[in-house]
Amino acid sequence: MLPLIHFVHGKESGPWGRKISYLSEIARKQGFDIESLDYSGMINPMERAEKLSEACLIRPPDILVGSSMGGWVASAANSSIPVRGLFLMAPAFYMFDYPNLAAGCEGDRIEIVHGWRDSIIPFQNSIRFGQEHSCTLHLVDDDHRLAHRLDQIGDIFTAFIKRVMAN
């Protein structure tokens, strides 16, 4: 059985949005199976985390990848789903409507990519999380969607996969 990467989309995105489609192709080329649930219509992040946790009971992923609200959801679910790594893009940490959470894996297995020009989730929130959990943070010249830096994010993601799977 191939290793599994489970993608978690953001609040107003879908399971096969541009970033997930791009990164899933990279993961497939590296020999991974891919999962991406549809959370459309679910506005409560805790409900999304519960849905992810339930789905991962069937087949636990090796890596969770989340974007925006999906980054928070992946991190929250990681408290009950052991994974080899978390790859997060503009995660919704320390936002007003979201409960605080604890990372489920060590900081050296968490990488965050966030845009300097994000007007939805302040990049400072990722800096704070990165400092508190000693994880790697990549700040790029982009906005919340990170659509202009997909090639750069793909390179970061490729290196992350190789590193966490080697350990």
pLDDT tens, position by position, 72-107: 999 999 988 999 999 999 999 999 889 888 777 888
pLDDT tens, position by position, 23-32: 999 999 999 9
pLDDT at 10: 95
CB 71 within 8 A of CB 88: yes
Local confidence band at 167 (pLDDT 50, 70, 90 cut-offs): confident
Buried b (16+ CB within 10 A) or exposed e, 91-124: bbbbbeebeebebbbebebbbbbbbeebeebebe
pLDDT at 120: 97
Q: Please, how many CA atoms are within 13 Å of residue 22, restricted to the half-sphere of its CB?
A: 17
Region 59-77 average pLDDT: 96
CATH of 4-166, one of 2.30.110.10, 3.90.550.10, 3.40.50.1820, 3.90.420.10: 3.40.50.1820
Domain boundaries of the chain, sorted by first residue: 4-166
Q: Give dist(CA 92, CA 36) in Å, integer.
A: 19
Task: Give the CA distances from residue 130 to residues 27, 75, 133, in Å, rounded to whole numbers and listed in that order.
Answer: 24, 13, 5
pLDDT tens, position by position, 123-149: 999 999 999 999 999 999 999 999 999
pLDDT, the chain, mean: 95
